[in-house]
């Protein structure tokens, strides 16, 4: 009789472990104050609610800071989470620290939005189980194609990026250069434009390190250079400047020059807030992703990995292409 009770208790414990567990998965973005990553968190929470036995943790630093991101990943591992998705800020730094810790502990780890660099993946192909996001080279190429459409004879260009050591952003910069030069590059960020097809980079890319205010200051510098007839095109691989409070005030004095394509602004990301600037005619085009869907698919992928279900090692999220003609419909609303 005692054996029967022990057997029944063991069955109940096993049943609870299979069906009563709440899985705790974490999204670690590059920054938490960016509408893009906020939308990934919303998608994560919706997917968690649909799965029913999943908790979505959205944990990150307010601004881009690789050391803080590394610390947060390590803390989540100490808390015993069941899986982590990382938007990689700096590839080699994370790979040798908190990510190595996750690999040692056997905690499922994937990347979203920003993957590890090609060099890191070549050195350690098993460093992450999957990547969920868009093709960052394709994002850059699309940004470049928009510039080419708006100024078919080329121009004097300045590129803005976040960090010089960000793998996904360097791919976007390389995509811009490939689209405008017609050349193929294999090592990001490619080569600066020096007159190919009429395009020349006035200076090296401007880096704002994820700070919207710094991005807007950079844009003000570019517009002053336009006043001096030194620059006539600006492309940002992310939406930082448009997320700063004074973006409208900064570009408003240049409305007629923008309308005539004397000065061209092409910006990465496609948040609803950014669509307002297309409506207002102070930006020419935006190319971005679907962060809400990315967040959903990220949590679904972690769930499938944790439960030994089939999953895609590379799950690509389609891009949004928005301009002054289609901004009402380009996000699928």
pLDDT in tens, the chain (333 residues): 444 443 444 444 333 434 578 999 999 999 999 999 999 999 999 999 999 999 999 999 999 999 999 999 999 999 999 999 999 999 999 999 999 999 999 999 999 999 999 999 999 999 999 999 999 999 999 999 999 999 999 999 999 999 999 999 999 999 999 999 999 999 999 999 999 999 999 999 999 999 999 999 999 999 999 999 999 999 999 999 999 999 999 999 999 999 999 999 999 999 999 999 999 999 999 999 999 999 999 999 999 999 999 999 999 999 999 999 999 999 975
Instruction: Give the DSSP letter of residue 80.
Output: T
Closest CA to 304 of 291, 313, 292: 313
Question: Beta partners for 234?
Answer: 158, 265
Please check whether residue 89 lies inside any domain of the structure: yes
Residue 333 has what pLDDT? 52
User: Quick one: 116 and 42 in the same domain?
Assistant: yes
Q: Is residue 15 part of a domain?
A: no
Clarify whether residues 283 and 295 are in a common domain: no
143 and 248 in a single domain? The answer is yes
Shared domain for 190 and 300, answered yes or no, is no
Q: Is residue 324 part of a domain?
A: no
Residues 51 and 151 in one domain: no
> Does 77 fall in a domain?
yes
Show the tokens assigned to 287: 């190319």
H or E stretch including 103? helix 98-105
Query: Do 162 and 128 fall into the same domain?
Result: no
What Cα–Cα distance (Å) separates residue 189 from each residue in 143, 152, 259, 325?
A: 14, 23, 31, 31
Supply φ then ψ for residue 158, to 5 degrees: -125, 135
**pTM listed for this prediction:** 0.89
For the chain, what is the domain count?
A: 2
Residue 18 domain flag: no
Q: Is the residue at 106 inside a domain? A: yes
pLDDT number for residue 332: 79
User: What is the 3-state composition of the chain as percent helix, strand, coil, each rounded to the nearest 5?
Assistant: 45, 15, 35
Residues 279 and 298 in one domain: no
- Whether residue 8 lies inside any domain: the answer is no
Q: What is the DSSP letter of 54?
A: E
The whole domain housing 79 covers: 23-134+291-319
Query: What CATH number has the domain bearing residue 81?
Result: 3.40.50.2300
Q: Give Cα 98 distance to the centre of its chain.
A: 20
118 and 150 inside one domain: no
Whether residues 86 and 40 fall in one domain: yes
Together in a domain, 229 and 219 = yes
Same domain, 254 and 172: yes
Q: Looking at the structure, do residues 281 and 314 belong to the same domain, yes or no? A: no
**Is residue 228, in this structure, part of any structural domain at all?**
yes
Please give the C-alpha separations between residue 281 and each of 75, 107, 267, in angstroms, as whole numbers: 45, 48, 13
């Amino acid at each position: 009789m005692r054996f029967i009770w022990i057997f029944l208790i063991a069955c109940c414990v096993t049943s609870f472990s299979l069906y009563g567990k709440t899985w705790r998965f974490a999204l670690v973005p590059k920054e938490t104050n960016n509408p893009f990553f906020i939308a990934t968190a919303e998608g994560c929470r919706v997917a968690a609610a649909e799965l029913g036995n999943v908790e979505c943790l959205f944990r990150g630093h307010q601004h881009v800071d690789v050391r803080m991101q590394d610390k947060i990943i390590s803390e989540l591992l100490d808390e015993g989470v069941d899986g982590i998705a990382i938007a990689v800020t700096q590839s080699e730094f994370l790979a040798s620290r908190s990510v190595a810790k996750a690999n040692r502990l056997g905690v499922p780890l994937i990347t979203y939005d920003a993957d590890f660099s090609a060099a890191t993946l070549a050195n350690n192909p098993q460093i992450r189980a999957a990547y969920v996001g868009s093709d960052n080279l394709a994002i850059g190429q699309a940004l470049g194609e928009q510039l080419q459409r708006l100024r078919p004879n080329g121009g004097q260009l300045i590129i803005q990026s976040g960090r010089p050591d960000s793998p996904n952003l360097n791919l976007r910069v390389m995509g811009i250069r490939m689209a405008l030069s017609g050349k193929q590059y294999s090592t990001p960020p490619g080569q600066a434009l020096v007159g190919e097809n009429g395009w020349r980079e006035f200076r090296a890319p401007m880096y704002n390190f994820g700070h919207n205010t710094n991005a807007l200051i950079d844009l003000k510098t570019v517009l002053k250079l336009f006043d001096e007839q030194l620059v006539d095109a600006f492309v940002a691989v992310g939406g930082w400047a448009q997320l700063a409070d004074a973006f409208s005030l900064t570009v408003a004095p240049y409305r007629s020059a923008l309308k005539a394509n004397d000065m061209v602004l092409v910006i990465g990301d496609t948040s609803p807030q950014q669509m307002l600037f297309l409506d207002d005619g102070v930006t020419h085009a935006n190319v971005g992703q679907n962060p809400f869907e990315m967040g959903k698919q990220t949590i679904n992928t972690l769930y499938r990995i944790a439960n030994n279900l089939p999953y895609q090692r590379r799950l690509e999220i389609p891009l949004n292409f928005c301009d002054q003609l289609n901004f009402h419909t380009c996000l699928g609303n």
